[in-house]
Structure formats: structure tokens, C-alpha cells
Amino acid sequence: MTRQKRVDDNDRAVGLRIKQARISRGLTQSTLASLLGCCFQQVHRYERGVNCVSAGRLVAIARELSVVPADLLGDAGPALEHPRHAVELMRLFDGLSLPQRQALTQMARVMVGETAPEAV
């Protein structure tokens, strides 16, 4: 009798964190797959949460992405819904001067309807 795998929220969360880390390092699925010695389809299945990531594979993925395995597991806060955009914004934000950062932050506050700056 064959057991059918059910995709679960933990698999999706781990996959999304793998995807976020991969994108933040500027790697394609093919590049990561090559580093891991598998095909890009396998990386794609990990990122979608279709295939579970074994402990050994998780350690290998973390090593190639220069993160600790715990970063790819839970308790890292909610996974971003649009990781590519968030990572790109963070990368671009790092290249701005302090006045540019402040202006961009203020513009974002206005766009989402937040008027007062957050307490630091």
C-alpha cells in the first residue's frame, strides 16, 4: 500500500525560508541545485513544500546558503508572502544614504497610511 504525502504548513514554511535565503544570496534554483548535487526541480519541490527536506539535506542547504539550519526552520517569524520583493528592497535600501533612507521610509509610511514614526 502506498502512502500519499500530504503537504503540510511546516514543509511550506521551511521551503519558503529556503527560497528567501536563496534569493537573498542571488542564487537561482539551478545554481543551488548544482551546489547540492541534485536537479533544479528538486529544489523547486523543496521550496514549494511538496517534498520534505531531510535533516541532512537541510544542513547542506543551509551551508550552501551561508545560514544556520535553524534559520530555515520555525520560530523565525512569519514567512514573507513576497520574498523576492522584500529581499530586493532590503538590498537596494542598503545602498542608500541616510537621508534617502529616511525619505523612503517616510514615503512608505504615507503609502500604508501610517503617519507617526514608530518608536525605536
pTM of the complete model beyond 0.75:
no
The CATH number of 1-77 is 1.10.260.40
The three cell numbers locating residue 49? 513544500
pLDDT value of position 90: 79
Q: What is the mean pLDDT of each run of 10 residues along the chain (120 residues)?
A: 70 91 90 96 94 93 92 64 72 89 90 68
| Domain limits, the chain | 1-77, 80-113
pLDDT tens digits for 87-99? 778 788 888 999 9
Q: Count other C-beta atoms under 10 Å from residue 69's C-beta.
A: 14
**Residues 37 and 80 sit within 8 Å (Cβ to Cβ):** no
